Structure 1
């Protein structure tokens, strides 16, 4: 057998081993990155190879061990035969070093980087093709894999809790799914809003006491009818003497059904249903569960001294996920714009806008703790009933990125002026933002300490 024949055979063997290395590397990336949900869809669609792909993903530890064992066997053989191959060409004492360098470069380019890039990009297409092959190889290498998995359990334990995904990791996965086109932007927004339910409290989404429509238990039946027609609410709280003593809720449906059946109503108490009270610090996700368990759609929000702070509905909670919900009583079909920019430092803001949303929209750092809607925040800061022209000033100190991407400290003076009031309710506020001086910051901090 000639020299050329031997080296030609070795070269062919080396190429085959590099291809095997690329195969194992690409397959590892495919199974590590492919969505299990997508594979389950393939199973439901009865696509060829889907069941074996699902088996490999559900038993990923076994699959990964098989791939790593196979890849290491191939790479070890590649290094050994490469040394023999280069002995026929290189006559120097640095043969092993040169052989190792060449094989390392070849493996990095053709055995790792390129196949893994391809595997990541086309994982959902390749998984059905690769799964049957890996399924067979996993049984061939099963004796060796069992030994390695046993060693792994000794050092890592039987259960691996690292597979649990936290919220930030899940948000990253969702962002990737949006980029890959697996979910739509609005679906992504809904899911992220669900994460926020545990961070938002009832106090932030409630209808404040000043905006509550409620009726006294002595209100005449005719007046109750007029209130339902005028306000167009499906449920109205009933109080005794004042709003701190809510005693029930009357439903529009119950009221008009009674009138249609000519039932003689002497007072609203005849139609009252039980009322649910919730604490202002309850989270929105807990509120949804409580309303579901109570089979009701409205709750009264109580303060520390059992005083009435406002009311909250299931609709308010669900709007935190899907945005504004319109029913048959809502006017218009487009959500009113809550903030309008007049110039670089002046804005007109609707009283219904959350203070946190306003701060985020304008870029004012963190909103003051406990502030919910703008109208409520300003109402609570006023000593008297709110009127047009009333002002309040707030200083916000925060750190943010400038136009060059560098972090910089900011101090903003926020002047809020009431420009529209309707029956004691603050409808519109003019917000003016300027840089705050050191003296203004000091004075503001001192005033907060005095409070």
Structure 2
């Protein structure tokens, strides 16, 4: 019996190692690398069917790995049955058996498989694909049974649907491929940024890229012809919101080109409300990718962004969307900015526009400022941290970063100085 148990334990260990390696490989493989390997071996037609079964394969290989590990444990218990006498040595038998099983499983079901998957995930999957396909056919009834619990577990854990998870994995895969090609010099930094910008459009909202209400300039609906002409010249925009009383009451959008016919008509009757066009309204939560599609369908370039209470939160233009892809755009009529959004002053020191997004500043200066649902910008982070509107020259420290207000008004912060300090051994981690 002991010899049979030994052989079963050895077989279960080898099989468990195989299924553990496959399970780890299925969770970490690169779709592009797997496609290349299959194409090299003339099996490119097998890629799509395999990808469709990936989640099923993960479930089957994981289940087999657990089952085989339990079998190894039972066999080791059987092997030590004759070594220890009944009675007082029973506890010792279990302790030794579990210790040996833990060692065997740690080496053959964890360490070796994970290492194989880390360095050879795609090659392992290509070589074992026929056996994996057989496993799916044999254990499909078991997989179907286990899938019955999937919706229940997802609801309890509040997890996303498999489609959303699949989309996230695909996005991560694309970004991974781009980074790989960047290392090979096949993709330069600008191309990488553009590709990342396109991918991130799906998760970016209008509220994140809009010009905020505090920076929006408009024209009152009862303005005279001369006032409208002066506003167009002063503001320098081709599309200007027209409002009644205040910006929460935007009644339309004035296109500068529509005013050409009024040139030289000083003193003639003029009603601005007869010239303006309907304003396109969108919520702050509007996905930028969807918004771009609506801009194209409606053949417009600007929209009014509304907050959850129906008030005006800001304006978003097609240029704002394009800047998410290609970076900041400055046309020939736009004045050159004396103060760029992030101006590097020295190593680890920069002057920053308070409207810069925290994640952009983190990327630019390799910082770890916290991102929160309560704010998006550096100015919002300053308000949230201090709890009041700071005055010029007021500063505070967060972790190893000192932030000093360099330009502020009564109701807002305009610019701050960000300085990375030398790490202090006495830092308590919260920096205050």
Whether the 8 Å CA contact 1:299–1:313 is kept in 2: the answer is yes
Structure 1 vs Structure 2 CA RMSD: 6.3
Task: State the partner residue of 2:238.
Answer: 234
Q: Displacement, 1:164?
A: 1.9
- Closer/same/farther in 2, CA of residues 132 and 13 from structure 1, 3 Å limit: same
Q: Secondary structure at the match of 1:122?
A: helix
Q: Displacement, 1:23?
A: 0.8
Task: State the partner residue of 1:383.
Answer: none
* Residue of structure 2 aligned with 1:106, choices 104, 107, 115: 104
Task: State the partner residue of 2:423.
Answer: none
Number of equivalenced pairs: 372
Whether the 8 Å CA contact 1:349–1:430 is kept in 2: the answer is yes
* Residue of structure 2 aligned with 1:338, choices 341, 347, 360: 341
- Closer/same/farther in 2, CA of residues 26 and 194 from structure 1, 3 Å limit: same
Task: State the partner residue of 2:120.
Answer: 122
Task: State the partner residue of 1:20.
Answer: 15
The structure that is strand-richer by fraction is 1
Task: State the partner residue of 1:285.
Answer: 286
Q: Displacement, 1:136?
A: 1.2
- Closer/same/farther in 2, CA of residues 54 and 413 from structure 1, 3 Å limit: closer
1:313 aligns with 2:317: yes
Task: State the partner residue of 2:137.
Answer: 139
* Residue of structure 1 aligned with 2:279, choices 275, 279, 286: 275
Whether the 8 Å CA contact 1:49–1:131 is kept in 2: the answer is no
Q: Which runs of 5+ in 1 are unaligned?
A: 1-5, 260-264, 378-390, 404-409, 419-425, 434-451
Q: Displacement, 1:16?
A: 5.2
Q: Deviations over 1:100-150 (max 9, x none)?
A: 65554334213431112212433233223223202213434556x37xx64
Question: Quick check: which has more Rg, 1 or 2?
Answer: 1
Q: Tell me how far apart the structure 1 counterparts of residues 93 and 308 of structure 2 sit (CA, whole Å).
A: 82
Q: Displacement, 1:54?
A: 2.7
Please, what TM-score do these two structures have when normalized by structure 1? 0.54
Answer with 169-178 or 53-62: which moved more. Answer: 169-178
Q: Displacement, 1:24?
A: 1.6
1:218 aligns with 2:235: no
Q: Displacement, 1:236?
A: 3.4
- Closer/same/farther in 2, CA of residues 38 and 193 from structure 1, 3 Å limit: same
Please, what TM-score do these two structures have when normalized by structure 2? 0.56
Q: Secondary structure at the match of 2:286?
A: helix
1:57 aligns with 2:54: yes
Q: Tell me how far apart the structure 2 counterparts of residues 428 and 364 of structure 1 sit (CA, whole Å).
A: 18
Q: Displacement, 1:302?
A: 7.7
